[in-house]
């Protein structure tokens, strides 16, 4: 089922006023019931991000007045993870990359552990009476393929194990999510280490942080490299956006600004949106992405939330103008204007009037644009860009490739969440 953004619905669910009201009502009901605040954590044993997140569970319980419950879940369905093998490979590599910055541990051995290890890990987890502590130990054994150790802990039947995982997966679905390594607290979701600072902020706002305790995690900041010696090097950042991606919309400004701070050239290589390539985006995934993008946009100071979904014809029309805009050095400016107007200003970017406004904001002449718009030439390069992403084990947007002066790939990553890590890699490359 393809997810399409409804302007009225998105305006309602992304409203800060509605978010504040919802939080207040849920807190009031909890207080009136006399129940201790409950945070649910959904753990998927073969997910690298779950292994990272499990390492902070005992600290989270110790620092906040909450009842932290661990639920075991199966992998997401094919509709939520359409490129499963790519997701597995990238997740291992990415988890290993970010772990040191959070003082956590994860090693990518280059492949998923054996099916036998996964089966035993699931049984061991289902048998545990204290998952807050056991999840890390069992995960360590699983990711090192230590079947002997796992076998000693696997004390329940396969039937009981499957029942426990089905129950956790069903609860996650009922509450409205699809991934492992996710927290749920009073109506809102927080994915993994990347979004744990939001959960901690929410708990602190609710007065649940214990006296004398500090927050475990903070957002990773993009380092400031201005003035750093570069030895005359100039690198290239290939930027793979989709004009229909909310995360791309709020990443455009930061990405196009990179050359103002670092000796890099940004090469914009748009790709066709997943839904326009017949890859499903289920509603649960779509709604979570919108809410998550909104809070990220608020944090980094990017406008977002007044939406006119540009899926379909609007995307095709702006892509048909991209090469023409690039010839004038304004391809990035064209996409930035388009995503701003579609995702933050609610403009119908597919109409002639909408495209005219997009062009004018990008500093492009509409009369010239009207002579080349709606061509099909873009279809070839959009597919070439997608195939290049796949060669770098990337498939989602926005994605980034850092290249040296000879065009050799130094680093590749997926997501606006990794712009800070991209900047670290730029710094390393300039210093070497």
The predicted pLDDT at position 83 comes to 78
Confirm whether 36-205 and 235-431 share one CATH topology. Answer: yes
Q: Supply 100's token pair.
A: 């040191």
For 24-37, give one letter per residue: b (16+ CB within 10 A) or e.
eebbeeeeeeeeeb
As a whole number, mean pLDDT of residues 381-409 equals 95
Fold classification of 36-205 is Glutaredoxin (3.40.30)
The predicted pLDDT at position 178 comes to 95
Q: What is the pLDDT of residues 326-378, one digit of tens each?
A: 999 999 999 999 999 999 999 999 999 999 999 999 999 999 999 999 999 99
In 128-177, which residue ranges form alpha helices assigned H by DSSP?
A: 131-143, 147-153, 158-175
As a whole number, mean pLDDT of residues 280-308 equals 92
The model carries a pTM of: 0.95
**Whole-number mean pLDDT of the chain?**
94
Single out the residue of 189, 192, 257, 254 nearest to residue 221, CA to CA. Answer: 254
Residue 156, Ramachandran bin (φ over 0: left; ψ between -120 and 50: alpha; else beta) = beta
Distance CA 129, CA 69 (A): 11
As a whole number, mean pLDDT of residues 33-59 equals 97
Distance CA 389, CA 125 (A): 36
The predicted pLDDT at position 144 comes to 97
- The CATH class of the 235-431 domain is alpha beta
Q: What is the pLDDT of residues 406-429, one digit of tens each?
A: 999 999 999 999 999 999 999 999
Q: Domain segments of the chain: what residues? A: 36-205, 235-431
Q: How far is CA 246 from CA 137, 221, 291, 345, 395, in A?
A: 37, 21, 10, 13, 16
């Amino acid at each position: 089922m393809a997810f399409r953004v409804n302007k009225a619905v998105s305006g309602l669910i992304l409203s800060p006023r509605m978010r504040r009201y919802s939080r207040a009502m849920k807190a009031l009901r909890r207080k009136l019931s006399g129940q201790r605040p409950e945070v649910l954590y959904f753990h998927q044993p073969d997910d690298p991000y779950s292994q990272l997140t499990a390492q902070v569970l005992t600290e989270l319980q110790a620092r906040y007045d909450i009842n932290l419950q661990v639920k075991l879940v199966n992998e997401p369905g094919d509709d939520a993870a359409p490129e499963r093998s790519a997701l597995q490979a990238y997740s291992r590599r990415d988890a290993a990359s970010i772990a040191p910055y959070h003082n956590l541990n994860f090693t990518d051995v280059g492949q998923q552990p054996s099916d036998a290890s996964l089966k035993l890990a699931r049984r061991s987890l289902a048998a545990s009476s204290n998952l807050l502590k056991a999840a890390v130990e069992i995960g360590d054994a699983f990711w090192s393929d230590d079947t002997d150790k796992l076998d000693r802990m696997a004390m329940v039947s396969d039937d009981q194990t499957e029942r426990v995982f089905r129950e956790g997966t069903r609860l996650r679905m009922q509450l409205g999510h699809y991934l492992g390594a996710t927290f749920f607290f009073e109506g809102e979701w927080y994915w993994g280490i990347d979004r744990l600072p939001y959960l901690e902020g929410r708990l602190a706002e609710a007065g649940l942080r214990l006296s004398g305790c500090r927050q475990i995690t903070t957002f990773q900041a993009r380092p400031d490299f201005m003035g750093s010696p570069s030895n005359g090097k100039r690198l290239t950042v290939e930027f793979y956006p989709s004009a229909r991606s909310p995360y791309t919309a709020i990443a455009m400004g930061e990405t196009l600004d990179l050359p103002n701070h670092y000796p890099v050239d940004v090469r914009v290589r748009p790709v066709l949106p997943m839904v326009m390539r017949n890859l499903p985006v289920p509603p649960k995934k779509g709604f979570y992405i919108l809410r998550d993008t909104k809070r990220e946009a608020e944090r980094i100071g990017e406008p977002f939330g007044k939406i006119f979904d540009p899926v379909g014809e609007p995307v095709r029309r702006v892509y048909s103008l991209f090469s023409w805009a690039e010839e004038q050095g304004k391809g990035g400016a064209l996409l930035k204007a388009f995503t701003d107007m579609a995702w933050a200003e609610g403009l119908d970017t597919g109409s002639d009037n909408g495209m005219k406004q997009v062009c004018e904001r990008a500093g492009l002449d509409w009369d010239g644009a009207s002579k080349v718009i709606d061509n099909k030439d873009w279809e070839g390069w959009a597919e070439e860009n997608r195939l290049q992403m796949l060669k770098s084990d990337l498939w989602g947007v926005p994605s980034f490739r850092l290249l040296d002066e000879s065009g050799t790939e130094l680093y590749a990553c997926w997501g606006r969440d990794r712009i800070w890590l991209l900047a670290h890699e730029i710094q390393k490359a300039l210093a070497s």
